[in-house]
Amino acid sequence: MGRLDGKVILLSAAAQGIGRATALAFAKEGAKVIATDINKSKLQELDEYAGIQTRLLDVTSREQIEKLANDIEKVDVLCNIAGFVHHGTILECEDTDWNFTMNLNVRSMYLMIKTFLPKMLAQKSGNIINMSSVASSIKGTVNRCVYSTSKAAVIGLTKSIAADFIEKGIRCNCICPGTVDTPSLQERIQTSPYPERALKDFLARQKMGRMATAEEVAQLFVYLASDESAYMTGNELIIDGGWSL
* Identified binder of ligand NAD from the candidate list 40, 66, 123, 183, rule CB under 6 A: 183
* Identified binder of ligand NAD from the candidate list 5, 39, 72, 228, rule CB under 6 A: 39
* Identified binder of ligand NAD from the candidate list 4, 52, 79, 104, rule CB under 6 A: 104
* Identified binder of ligand NAD from the candidate list 9, 10, 15, 120, rule CB under 6 A: 15
Rounded-to-integer distance, Cα 105 and Cα 150, Å: 6
Rounded-to-integer distance, Cα 64 and Cα 58, Å: 7
Q: Which of residues 70-99 bind ligand NAD (CB under 6 A)?
A: 81-83, 85
* Identified binder of ligand NAD from the candidate list 185, 225, 237, 238, rule CB under 6 A: 185
User: Collapsing DSSP states into helix, strand and coil, what is residue 127?
Assistant: strand
Rounded-to-integer distance, Cα 157 and Cα 105, Å: 11
Rounded-to-integer distance, Cα 78 and Cα 98, Å: 26
List of residues 6+ apart from 132 with CB closer than 8 A: 151, 152, 154, 155, 158, 174, 175, 176, 236
118 binds ligand NAD (CB under 6 A): no
- Each residue 203-242 as x (binds ligand NAD by CB under 6 A) or -, in order, gives -----------x----------------------------
Q: Which stretch binds ligand NAD (CB under 6 A): 2-10, 34-42, 67-75, 225-233?
A: 34-42
145 binds ligand NAD (CB under 6 A): no
Rounded-to-integer distance, Cα 164 and Cα 184, Å: 34
Q: How far is the CB of 22 from ligand NAD (least distance, A)?
A: 9
φ/ψ of residue 118, rounded to 5 = -55, -35
Describe the crossing of helices 108-122 and 145-165 by its angle, rounded to 10 degrees: 20
Q: Which residues pair with 77 in a beta bridge?
A: 9, 127
Task: Confirm whether 194 is a catalytic residue.
Answer: no
101 binds ligand NAD (CB under 6 A): no
Residues with active-site annotation: 147
Rule CB under 6 A: which residues touch ligand NAD?
12-13, 15-19, 37-39, 57-60, 81-83, 85, 104, 131, 133, 177, 179-180, 182-185, 214
